[in-house]
Amino acid sequence: MANSAALTCPCCPFTVLPSDTYVLQLHFEQLHTPDSPFKVENDPEPLPPSLPPRPSSSRPKHVDADTPSDSEDENSVLCPEPDCEELVPLDEFNEHLDLHTAESLTFDEATGKYHHQPAGKMQALTSTTTGSSKIPSFLEQNFSAELPEALRNQHGGRKLKKKTRGRGDSSGSGKSTLSRSILSFNPFAKVNKIVKPPASSVRLGRAELGPHAWEDRMPKWLHKQLEDGQKVTVVNRIGRDGRLIKQEQVQNETPGVIPILAQLSALDRSVKEAYYCHPSTLHIGRTPKEGGFCGYRNIQMLVSYIQGAHAQGLEEFPGRTPNILKLQDLIERAWDKGINEIGRQQTGGIRDTRKYIGTPEAQALFLSSQIDCAVEMLNDSPDGQIEAHEQLFLAVEKYFMQAAVKDGSNVYKTLLPPIYLQQPGHSITIIGFERRKDGSCNLMIFDPMYHTSPAMHRLIGRKNIRTSRPEVLYAYRRGSRQLRKHAAFEVLM
Q: How far apart are CA 371 and CA 314, in angstroms?
A: 9
Q: Of all helices (H) and strands (E), which one includes residue 276?
A: strand 271-276
Give the residue among 260, 303, 263, 299 at the shortest CA–CA distance from 448. Answer: 299
Neighbouring C-beta atoms of residue 222, cutoff 10 Å: 18
Contacts 24+ apart (CB under 8 A), 219-223: 222/289, 222/290, 222/291, 222/354, 223/325, 223/352
Cα-based distances in Å from 80 to 246, 301, 354, 367, 396: 37, 27, 21, 39, 34
Strand boundaries in 350-446, DSSP class E: 375-379, 411-413, 419-423, 426-436, 441-446
Q: Of all helices (H) and strands (E), which one includes residue 263?
A: helix 257-267
Q: How far apart are CA 390 and CA 380, in angstroms?
A: 9
CA 345 to chain centroid: 25
Strand boundaries in 21-170, DSSP class E: 76-78, 87-89, 106-108, 113-115, 125-126, 168-170
Contacts of 447 (CB under 8 A, 6+ apart): 99, 428, 429, 475
- Asked whether the beta carbons of 225 and 219 are under 8 A apart, the reply is no
Q: Of all helices (H) and strands (E), which one includes residue 274?
A: strand 271-276
- The dihedral region occupied by 370, where left means phi > 0, alpha psi between -120 and 50, and beta the remainder, is left
Provide the CB-side half-sphere exposure for 446 (13 A, CA): 36
Q: How far apart are CA 165 and CA 208, in angstroms?
A: 9
Q: Of all helices (H) and strands (E), which one includes residue 257?
A: helix 257-267
Enzyme catalytic residues: 294, 426, 447
